[in-house]
Amino acid sequence: MLPLAVDRAYYGRVLRAPGGFHDGTALRDFIAYYGDGDGLSCAFSDDGINWDNEKEVTGIAAGGYHVVCALETSDRLRILYWDPNVPNQPYAMAGLRSAICNPQVDASAFTEDTACTGDLVTEGGEPVWNRGHYGPSFLWYNPEPSSAPGKPFTWRYAMLFIASTGGNDGLGLGYSDDGLDWRLYGNAPILSGLIDAQDWEGANGYVSSCHVERLADGRWWMLYSGGEAGNAGIGYAWSWDRIHWTKAAFNPVFQAGQGPFLERCYTPCLVTDATAPSFFTGPPRTRIPTGLSYPDSARRFSVGGTL
């Protein structure tokens, strides 16, 4: 069960690396980072199902969450996250922060916590699509960057971020060579509930936290939080280039109010293995847990229970 002791486990990211994450006692195969209602916590596992040793993440801004991760080497893990306590949030670039840890020593203790810079958001008064942001949504790490102008995935880091007008959220794309100074790609969201809107998205459809993987034929597929609110369900989209996305006609994959999802269903995260589970937030009315499903293909998921 996640959470183990804290009130919540949402906006989670699960990483898998055999013997990759030190929990203070031993090296473990899995780590989960998640918002706990007050900041960021983590827990450890050897199988991705049974979790223990829940710990507060230290060395980052108080209250920070919406985390994404890049395991750059076995001894260097970078996170990007959103700091809701920066003045004028969500309309300040400085709400995006970065920190580093050595997961072989202590995967819960971060250093080099730094506010990011760049032009991802306008920070202005006009409600344009990227007026503000709610932090990162998904992160790619490229160990051999060429940093070609106008080609975001040739840079060391590429990131989908939760762009916001202040009344609607969509996904923007940014890129960086150091994980600290970010450049905006294009002048429109790459995925929005307001563009090619589907019935389940309603009149003001949101898109926020997502997870992206690649198919054997080269296509990319995405599970994303969406619907009439950012926590109303999980949709599916696919792309050849990670810039132009097509929403699936069968959306939503999961939806709040159906099955075990009483109030919310959002923030998907997958572990890349043929038999590994995917994780999502789907709270009961008193506590926000992380749920579990197993994919039998890149587009079909069955609910497996609550961790």
List, as one string, the DSSP characters of 79-143.
EEEE-TTSTTTTS-GGGEEEEEE-TTT-TTB-EEEEE-EESS---SSS--TTSEEEEEEEEEE-S
pLDDT score of 257: 73
Q: Give whole-number Cα distances, 25 to 21, 49, 52, 194, 296, in Å.
A: 10, 19, 12, 48, 35
User: What's the CA gap between 27 and 171, in Å, rounded?
Assistant: 35
Q: What DSSP state is assigned to residue 63? A: T
Angle at 253 (CA atoms; ends 43, 229), nearest 5 degrees = 80
Residue extents of the structural domains in the chain: 61-300
Q: Does the domain made of 61-300 have the CATH classification 2.115.10.20?
A: yes
pLDDT score of 299: 45
Q: How would you write the pLDDT of the chain (307 residues) with one tens digit per residue?
A: 688 899 888 899 999 999 999 999 999 999 999 999 999 999 999 998 899 999 999 999 999 999 999 999 999 999 999 999 999 999 999 999 999 999 999 999 999 999 999 999 999 889 999 999 999 999 999 999 999 999 999 999 999 999 999 999 999 999 999 999 999 999 999 999 999 999 999 999 999 999 999 999 999 999 999 999 888 899 999 999 999 999 999 999 988 777 665 577 888 888 765 344 445 454 433 333 444 444 444 444 444 433 3
